[in-house]
Amino acid sequence: MTEQRHWVNEAWQQIVQKIDRTSKRIGANFPHASENGEYVLAEPHWWTAAFWPGLLWLLYRDTQDDGLKQLAEKCEEKLDAVQNDYYRLDHDMGFMWILTSVAQYKLLGSEGSKRRALIAANLLMGRFNVNGNFIRAWNPWNEGEDNSGIAIIDCLLNLPLLYWASEETGDPRFKGVSKKHADTVLEHFIRSDGSVHHIVRFNPESGEMLEAMGGQGYGPDSAWSRGTAWAIYGLTLSYHYTGDTNYLETAKRVAHFFVSHLPEDFVPDWDFRLPANVDTPKDSSAGAIAACGLLLLAEKVTAAESPIYQRAGEKILESLYRNYGDWEGSEEGLILHGTSHFPQGKNTNNPLIYGDYYFVEGLARLKGYKELFW
C-alpha cells in the first residue's frame, strides 16, 4: 500500500464516519454554509441545494449505506416543487439536477430521475441567448433590475446537464447549445495569462460584449480563485464531452495560472490578484473544485503532461485533509476556511457545502471511482 493510498483511505474513513453523524441532524435538507459549527439550511431553490445529496450519492456508491440513499432520494423529491412551481429558476439548474437526478439515474437507473433531469435540461436550454451565444445567468434580484445580458464563469459546470441530455436522447441541440456557450467563454472570459473574468455583460439584443465585472472577486481585473477553478474543471468537462482541443488547451492554460499562484500549502487565497493592502482569506472550496478539474485534466492530456496535473490535484486534496479538515471537533463541515462572497462579507471563513462536496469527489476519484456525475 502506497503512502498516497494510506492517506486517501484514512481521509475517506474520516468522511464516512463524520457524515454518518452529521446526516442525522441535517437529514433531507439543503445545507449551505456552516456558522458556529452547524450548517445553516437554505431553501431548496438555492443554487447549492444539490451538493448535500450529491455528497451522499458519492458515499453511497462506495458504502451502499441505504440510509444515505434514502436521504438523497428525499432531497431530489423536494426539488420537484422548485422545478414545477418556482418562477426564478436560473442557469444553476445544472448544479441542482446533475447531483440529484443525473447522479441517481447513473447509479440506480431511476426513470423518474431521468425524467426530472431531462425537464431541467430543456429548461436550461431555454435560457440560451441566440444573439450572444450564451446561457443567461440570473433573473433580476430586485425590481427593475436587468440581468438579461449576464453570463458567469460558474455556468461551465451547468453544461454537463446538456451534454448528458444529448447523449441520453440522441438530440444534438443540447450539446450544440453547450458548445456555443463554451466557445463564448473562450472568447470573452479567459484572459491571455489564464486568469478568468467572473461576470461578463452582453447586450442581450445585439450580443455585443459590454463589460467584464468583478463579481465575487476583488474587481474586473482581479483573478477570483474559485472562478479560475470553475474554468479548469468546466473546460475540461467540455473537452471530455466534445473532444474539441480548444477547450483542452485553454483548460491547461488556466490550470497553469492557478497552480503557479498557489501558496506553500497548495490551498488558494480568495483572489490571486489583489492590492497589497487588501485582506486575502483562503478559499478552500476553490482548492477542492480545482483539484477535481486537475485530476480529470491529468486523464485527458499526454502521458508526459499528466503527472503535472495529477500531482497538483493530489497535493491540494492532501493539504485540505491534513491542514483544513475538521475530524474530531463539533464542526459539521468537512473543510474549514471557505470564502463564499468576500465583497459582500458573506461566509468569509466558513465551511461551504460545495467545498465539502468537491473534496469528497476528488478523494473518490483518487480511490478509483472514475465515472462522473457531471
Q: Output the DSSP codes for 42-74.
A: PPTTSTTTTHHHHHHHHHHHHH--HHHHHHHHH
Q: What's the pLDDT band for 253 if we cut at 50, 70, 90?
A: very high
State the Cα angle at 332 between 335 and 321, rounded to 5°.
25
Can you tell me the distance from the alpha carbon of 266 to that of 3, in angstroms, rounded to the nearest whole number?
A: 19
Can you tell me the distance from the alpha carbon of 258 to that of 268, in angstroms, rounded to the nearest whole number?
A: 8
Task: Spell 322-341 as b/e; 16+ CB within 10 A means b.
Answer: eebbbeeeebbbbbbbbbbe
Q: What's the pLDDT band for 5 if we cut at 50, 70, 90?
A: confident
- The stretch 75-97 carries a mean pLDDT of 97
- The stretch 275-302 carries a mean pLDDT of 96
- Examine the pLDDT at 4 and tell me if it is beyond 60: no
Can you tell me the distance from the alpha carbon of 138 to that of 147, in angstroms, rounded to the nearest whole number?
A: 6
At 79 the pLDDT is 98
The pLDDT > 90 percentage for the chain reads: 95
Q: Which of 154, 269, 271, 356 is catalytic?
A: 154
Do 283 and 223 touch, CB atoms closer than 8 A? no
Q: What's the pLDDT band for 141 if we cut at 50, 70, 90?
A: confident
Whether 154 is a known active-site residue: answer yes
Q: Tell me the average pLDDT of the chain.
A: 96
How buried is residue 246: exposed, middle or buried, by Cβ count under 10 Å (0-12/13-18/19+)? middle
- Examine the pLDDT at 2 and tell me if it is beyond 90: no
Lowest-pLDDT range of 61-65, 110-114, 341-345, 362-366 = 341-345
- Examine the pLDDT at 314 and tell me if it is beyond 60: yes
Whole-prediction pTM: 0.98
CB atoms within 10 A of CB 216: 22
- Examine the pLDDT at 348 and tell me if it is beyond 80: yes
Q: What's the pLDDT band for 229 if we cut at 50, 70, 90?
A: very high
Can you tell me the distance from the alpha carbon of 290 to that of 246, in angstroms, rounded to the nearest whole number?
A: 19
Cell 493539504, residue located: 319
- The stretch 233-248 carries a mean pLDDT of 98
- Examine the pLDDT at 3 and tell me if it is beyond 60: no
State the Cα angle at 247 between 244 and 249, rounded to 5°.
105
**Helices in the chain by DSSP H: which ranges?**
3-26, 51-63, 66-85, 93-97, 103-108, 111-125, 159-169, 173-188, 225-242, 245-260, 284-300, 306-319, 353-366
CB atoms within 10 A of CB 275: 8
Q: Which of 92, 271, 283, 356 is catalytic?
A: 92
Can you tell me the distance from the alpha carbon of 33 to that of 216, in angstroms, rounded to the nearest whole number?
A: 16
Q: How far is CA 92 from CA 89, 325, 339, in A?
A: 8, 27, 19
At 329 the pLDDT is 83
User: What torsion do the CA atoms of 13, 17, 20, 22 make, to the nearest 10 degrees?
Assistant: -120
DSSP code of 134? E
- The stretch 51-57 carries a mean pLDDT of 98
Task: Spell 193-214 as b/e; 16+ CB within 10 A means b.
Answer: ebbbbbbbbbebeeeebeebeb
- The stretch 235-242 carries a mean pLDDT of 98
Whether 271 is a known active-site residue: answer no
